[in-house]
Amino acid sequence: EEFMLLANVTVGKRILRQYPSLGVLRRHPSPDIKMFGPLIKKASSRGFKIDPTDSKKLASSLDAAVDPNDPHFNKLLRILSTRCMSPAQYFCSGSKSPTEWHHFGLASPIYTHFTSPIRRYADVLVHRLLSASIGYSPLPSHLGSQGMIEELCEQMNRRHRNAQMAGRESVGLFTLSFFDGNEREGER
């Protein structure tokens, strides 16, 4: 995993040297600490301190929040902590100042998606930009426009958000179906 993160960071930096305003990056804004209030309170009631002041402190405090009597507690805390944060987003490097590029969840000042082109369109775009930046192939004409890259990033963010909502709705539907089926079996 560490090599994958290093590859993504390194590729992002390489693309920005050649195309400073055309990079397809991923940012994760620092969360509003107030959004963690209910989670901090619930964790505290179980004897754990959650510290979201920076990503390393959050990770450390989540690592320490393990209840040996409840194997699902830590996983639940981690899921709930992600819901307290703004979602990560794709963006075009020319549309944000470098101070806005930070990825909170990975504690990285720059990040892109490069390592999974078989399953993410963002990675395909990054591969094309990298290929052009190292002189392997020409930059496709549609990727030479900051406006086009901004539009593609907005579309990828929208589709990702829709996929997440569909996944949550699916879990909700099957949860209801499961309990409905168990109630019917209990009536027999």
Q: How far apart are CA 78 and CA 105, in angstroms?
A: 12
Yes or no: say if 111 and 9 are a contact pair by the CB < 8 Å rule.
yes
> Model pTM?
0.79
| Other residues' Cβ atoms within 10 Å of the Cβ of residue 103 | 23
Min mean pLDDT across 34-38, 42-46, 184-188 is at: 184-188
pLDDT value of position 185: 58
Instruction: Measure CA 146 to chain center.
Output: 23
Position of tokens 């981690």? 78
pLDDT by residue (tens digit) across 60-116?
999 999 999 998 999 989 988 988 998 899 999 999 999 999 998 888 999 999 999
Residues in CB range of 156: below 8 A, 6 or more apart: 90, 121, 122
Residue 134 tokens, joined: 């190292």
Residue 25 belongs to what H/E stretch?
Answer: strand 24-27
